Amino acid sequence: MPSVSTQITWIVVGYAALVAVLAVTAAARGTERPRWLDQMAWMLELLVVVRALVGLGPLLGGDRPESTSTYVGYLVASVCVLPIAMRSVQDDRATWSAAVVAVAAVAVGVVAVRLQMTA
Amino acid sequence: MSDERRSGPHQVLLALYALFTLAAGARSLVQLTTRYDDAPVAYWLSLAAAVTYALGWYAIRQASAGRTGFASVMLWVELAGVAGVGTLSLVVRDWFPDASVWSDYGIGYGFVPAVLPVAGLLWLRHRKLAALANN
């Protein structure tokens, strides 16, 4: 059975992909960015924070990652990307703002995979 | 006009440029400081890529506000960088014992680095044509 961190990573990746697809769909419809998309993005952030907290384990325990600085970089990036992206479109609910959410969601998914690979 | 300036495809470009500035910058700094001797040329080129993305971000922001001059130069510089480093990485393998951001035309990032400047230039062209039509 895969470790807890691996399982959470897959949940993060799957959910990030879902958010990205829905964000692209919302953008393609050409309407205002829906509120539920924001809520889904913040749910993703919550998942990422849980993954990051679990990810602190290898840093504190004896089984340290091969490149600690790379690992810490991915750890910090994983939790920062979404808040920064959501902040940048805070007052802007126009169509294209949903595409920004899509970019951020894909980035979070990729960072989650890289984090897992460097652990 | 101001609405068009705020919202549009350039927001996606800006998000991607910010992301790549962060990714390339952090990557090159970690590699330059922790394993410089492994592949100094590749790592310095990664830092150059990071600087290019930061300047590209600024250029697109300026262009979205109507000042397209810097972007018309910067996006071509970026395209030349991706094409140049990509080709170099295939021809002079010895300089790249470890990958750089633009190695093999950005294969490590799903070729997004090769697509970005092209997408930027297309957007810029569209923007200039729209500005012409308005006048």
pLDDT tens for each residue of B93-130: 999 999 999 999 999 999 999 999 999 999 999 999 98
pLDDT in tens, B54-78: 999 999 999 999 899 999 999 999 9
| CA–CA distances in Å: residue B124 to residues A103, B5, B10, B70, B96 | 20, 13, 9, 11, 33
Q: A43-69 pLDDT, tens per residue?
A: 999 999 999 999 998 888 777 787 888
Interface test with B, best of A86, A96, A101, A113 (most B CBs within 10 A): A96
Supply the pTM of this predicted model.
Answer: 0.92
CA pseudo-torsion sign A41, A45, A46, A47 = positive
Query: Euclidean distance between the first and final Cα of chain B, in Å?
Result: 13
The domain spans of chain A are 4-118
Distances (CA, A) of B85 to A9, A118, B39, B107: 33, 26, 14, 12
**Choosing among B11, B16, B111, which should be mutated to test the A contact, i.e. which has the most A CBs within 10 A?**
B11
CA-to-CA dists, residue B132 to B51, B109, B112, B120, B127, angstroms? 31, 35, 30, 18, 9
Q: How far is A109 from chain B (nearest CA, A)?
A: 13
Domain that includes residue B53, residue range: 2-134
- B29 min Cα distance to partner chain A (Å): 10
Look at residue B52 in the predicted model and tell me its pLDDT: 98
Q: In chain A, which residues have pLDDT < 50?
A: none
Distance between CA B86 and CA B18 in Å, rounded?
Answer: 21
Q: Are B12 and A99 inside 8 Å of each other by CB?
A: yes
- SS3 for chain A is CCCHHHHHHHHHHHHHHHHHHHHHHHHHHCCCCCHHHHHHHHHHHHHHHHHHHHHHHHHHCCCCCCCHHHHHHHHHHHHHHHHHHHHHCCCCCCHHHHHHHHHHHHHHHHHHHHHHHHC
The pLDDT-based confidence of B5 (bands split at 50, 70, 90) is: low
- Choose among A89, A99, A107: nearest Cβ to B19: A107
Query: pLDDT: is B1 or B131 the higher one?
Result: B131
Overall domain count for chain B: 1
Quick one: A5 exposed, middle or buried, by C-beta within 10 A (0-12, 13-18, 19+)?
middle
- Residue B118 CB partners (closer than 8 Å, separation 6+): B79
Total beta-carbon pairs less than 8 A apart between chain A and chain B:
43
pLDDT > 60? residue B2:
no
Q: Whose structure tokens read 């470009």?
A: B13
CA distance B108 to A82: 22
Q: Which of A9, A21, A29 is nearest to A114 (CA)?
A: A9
Alpha carbon distance A56, B101 (integer Å) = 27
Please report the pLDDT score of residue B73 as a whole number.
Answer: 97
